[in-house]
Amino acid sequence: MHRIIFQFGSFTLYSYGLLVAAGFLLSTILILRDSEKFGMRSDSIFDCLIVILIGGLIGGRLLFVLINWEYYCRYPLRALMFYEGGLAFQGALAVAVLSGAVMSRIKKLSFWKASDLIAPYIALGQAVGRIGCYLNGCCYGRVIERGIGVTFPGETVMRIPTQTYSSLFLLMIFMVLIALRKRRLFDGYLFTMYMILYASFRFFMDFMRGDNLAVFLGIRISQIISIGMFLCGIIVYIVLSRAKKRGNEN
């Protein structure tokens, strides 16, 4: 764990904030590079990405604060210190998608085509951001007695390195989506595949997490959200594929 990269006077650079920013910057560069392949202007996509970033930060922080509401009731001002760690990705994704839908309408872009452009790089940005989680010591795994594990400073127990596993799985999702991009079946195909793959992976990965509170029969809040995300992905996939089929028939 290495929460602070360096300090200079009152300025502190946190590893979590740095890696999240690095993931977004890397994804943005690659999205803008590929925008022409999808027939979209890079300046319009860039404007959308800025709004998506702001929406994602707000949504991610709101969900994290809601999940940990007891702590933030005691220390309300710390809810604003997201750079120290504490973004719930599922909340970030939900608000980012809504922001992207609004911006695509304003910019007169195809939302589903734009979502296919962005989808692989969501996973890539997450993969980089999870390294920040590891350095920050958040999103940690359950305590184990044997096997592959890590011991964080200040602890004597060994934990499952869920952050590292998550980063590797997200990198795999990124590579799968890049491979599928060559044969997109319809606009929205890659985004729905991302939703299905990420929700499936996240549901099972959260059984290894040690920081989320169970809410019902051992099922965690994030897992309930993952189930909803998976079902939404399936439903949207079916709707879009049928619309594409009807269009081809007509």
pLDDT at 154: 84
User: How much of the chain, in percent, has pLDDT values that exceed 90?
Assistant: 60
Name 164's Cβ contacts closer than 8 Å, sequence gap at least 6: 130, 134
Q: Are 55 and 142 in contact (CB under 8 A)?
A: no
DSSP of 171-197: HHHHHHHHHHGGG--STTHHHHHHHHH
Q: What percent of the chain has pLDDT over 70?
A: 96
pTM equals: 0.90
**C-alpha angle 95-97-101 in degrees, rounded to nearest 5:** 115
C-beta neighbour count of 138 within 10 angstroms: 18
Domain boundaries, the chain: 13-136+146-185
Mean pLDDT rounded to a whole number for the chain:
90
State yes or no: pLDDT of 156 exceeds 70.
yes
Q: Quick: pLDDT tens for 80-95.
A: 776 666 778 889 999 9
* pLDDT higher than threshold 90 for residue 167: yes
